[in-house]
Structure formats: structure tokens, C-alpha cells
Amino acid sequence: MYGNAYIDPNEKPLSILDGEDPIKLAEFEARIDRGEKIEPKDWMPKEYRKQLIRMIEQHAHSEIIGALPEGTWITRAPGFKRKLALMAKVQDEVGHAQLLYSAAETLGKSREAMINDLITGKSKYSNVFNYPALTWADSCIIAWLIDAGAIINQVANSKGSYGPYGRALERICVEESFHLKYGHHNVVTLATGTPFQRQMVQEALTRWWPPIMHFFGPSDKISNHTTILMRWKVKMASNDDMRQQFLNMYVPKIWDLGLVVPDVNLKLNEATGLWDYTEPDWDEFKRVINGGGPCNAERLAVRRNAEEKGRWVRKALLQKDSSYVTPLA
């Protein structure tokens, strides 16, 4: 799962094309216009490389950090069926991180450097994972609606111009579609279950609605980078378009289950064909993404601890005179 790549709107406007060879740049843009894919050894503008690394890296971090809130429910999942499915789901997410770190490595940044930037707080990850999954129902809402949002984002980006990222996303989307089915089945089970289960899932939806609305990122009007990133097919859909698509697909399904979305202004505007909603609190979003959320410190501490505890293992693997051991079993 994944939220949209976050770009700090206060970052200095780019002198994006400074120093680029105009002929190579024109060829590059023509290739993109023709719908060709850019591959790792192809020429690319520095800014293209930088933005892609940032985007893929954030996505990879989101997968491993995202494994934490759901992972805490693996040991508590009710019954064999749910336990097995949740293990497989979270395992998929970690597998996505593996795939994405590899894709980002093709652009010249090592996995170690990326993980280091994550645990030192230099790189971001999707903001939704800075909120706690307080009950089993929270893990179900995440699996359904956050993964649904991720699919919208990733299906769009899989058609982007960078070959390795697009191919990774295509594979990821197939797996995410199972996650969504798993999440939906869970939410249906709770929403049609006992009064206690129903209350549990309603409370989880109420808690998760603001982070879900934040999930696609601030309105693109705020972002400096969007134009060129869209021209280069790094970013394939605007944040607002994706949010609208999400609302269009999932609000009716939520209402069908008799659940209440905690936004009195949420309705389909017949005139515009778009959903009206209360503007999400973007100050809260910025506060959380910059470290002030309920779980930021905990998530990074867990990750840092795992890195530190695993260091001796990685060192042993990198030992010069230790050769590959052919398994004999």
C-alpha cells in the first residue's frame, strides 16, 4: 500500500533544467511523448532522476513502515483463515518494499543509503502510517480503504515513463487487488456481524477517515512540481483527481454497508459530477508528516531497532572470506 509521494511545497522553486544539454533534453522529452519507457542506462535529466528516486524511495519506505501497524494484528488475528491471510498480506507489503528498493537502486542510490535516510528521518513515507491501528477493525479498514487508495495511485503511476518502476507497480497492483478483497471481506463481516462488531468497524472508519482524505496529498494547486513531473510522466494523475476517483468508487460501497462517513458535507454534486467534501485539515497533515503525528516516533524507533539488531547479520553476510554456501539439504 502507499500514499502519494509527498513533496514539500516550501521547497525552493527548481531551476530544473539548469546545465542540461538542450539536445539531449529534447530527445528525452520526445521519447516520453511517444510513450517510450526510460530505462536505467538511458540518459535522463538530473531532476527526473532525483524526483524518481524520491518517489520510489518514499513508496518503498511506506511499504515497510506500513507493515508495522498491520503487522501488530498478525499475532491477534481471529481464527486460522484471517491469521493466514493477514500474514500473507503483510508479507506482500514487505515484498513490495524489496521490489521497490531494487527499482530505486537502478537510479543509483543503494538500499542501505535509502534505509539510512528513513531511520534518520530524512526521507518521508506515507503519512497514514503515523496513525495507530487501535483495534482489529482498524486493520480491516486499512486493508480495504488504504489499499484501495493505493491501487488508484499505483495503477496511474504504473503507466509512467520509468520502465523499472512501472513494471514493479504492475506486479504490485495485482497483489494489492487481493488485499483490497481481503479488507473488504473483513469489513463486510464486521459490518454485518454483531452490534459490538458493527460499532467496532464504525469507530475505526471514523478514526481513519481524515487520514484517508489526506492520503492522496494536498490539492495540486499547492504543489510547485506538478507541471513538469506530469510532462515527464513521473506523476500521472493529480492528487485531487485521484481523491475524486476514490470517493466515487468507495463512498457508495461504504454507505451500502450502512456505515456513516464522518463528513456532513460529503455528497455527489449533481451539477459538477464531483464529490463535495469538507476540506481536509492540511495543517494537521503537515504537522504529522513533519514528525508530529501520534506514531511517527514509534514507527521510526521500531525500524531503527530492527536495523541495529540486524547489523551483525548483515556484517556476517558481507564478510570477505565467507563465500556463498551451497545448501546441502
What are the residues binding other proteins (CB under 8 A)?
Answer: 64, 67-68, 71, 73-80, 82-84, 87-88, 90-91, 94-95, 97-98, 101, 136, 189, 193-194, 196-197, 302, 305-306, 309-317, 319, 322, 325, 327-329
Largest interatomic CA distance in the chain: 71
Shortest Å distance, C-beta 126 to other proteins:
15
Take residue 211 and report the three cell numbers written for it. Answer: 487520514
Of 95 and 163, the one with the shorter C-beta distance to other proteins is 95
Three-state DSSP class for residue 275: strand
Shortest Å distance, C-beta 310 to other proteins:
3
Shortest Å distance, C-beta 155 to other proteins:
24
Of 79 and 273, the one with the shorter C-beta distance to other proteins is 79
Of 265 and 319, the one with the shorter C-beta distance to other proteins is 319
Of 271 and 328, the one with the shorter C-beta distance to other proteins is 328
Shortest Å distance, C-beta 256 to other proteins:
19
Shortest Å distance, C-beta 215 to other proteins:
21
Q: Are 96 and 172 in contact (CB under 8 A)?
A: yes
Residue of 170, 151, 150 whose CA lies nearest to 160: 170
Bridge partners for 38 per DSSP: 162
Of 188 and 230, the one with the shorter C-beta distance to other proteins is 188
Q: Tell how far CA 21 is from the center of its chain.
A: 34
Shortest Å distance, C-beta 316 to other proteins:
3
Of 128 and 156, the one with the shorter C-beta distance to other proteins is 128
Bridge partners for 267 per DSSP: 276
CA distance 157 to 225: 16
Shortest Å distance, C-beta 286 to other proteins:
27
CB under 8 Å to 30, separation ≥6 — which residues? none
Of 64 and 152, the one with the shorter C-beta distance to other proteins is 64
Take residue 305 and report the three cell numbers written for it. Answer: 531497532
Of 82 and 179, the one with the shorter C-beta distance to other proteins is 82
- 46-71 and 163-191 helices, crossing angle to 10°: 30
The 8-class DSSP code of residue 268 comes to: E
CA atoms 280, 282, 283, 289: torsion sign: positive
Residue of 259, 237, 233 whose CA lies nearest to 151: 237
CA distance 294 to 180: 25
Q: Are 129 and 72 in contact (CB under 8 A)?
A: no
The 8-class DSSP code of residue 11 comes to: S
Shortest Å distance, C-beta 73 to other proteins:
8
Residue 134 CB-density burial (10 A; 0-12 exposed, 13-18 middle, 19+ buried): middle
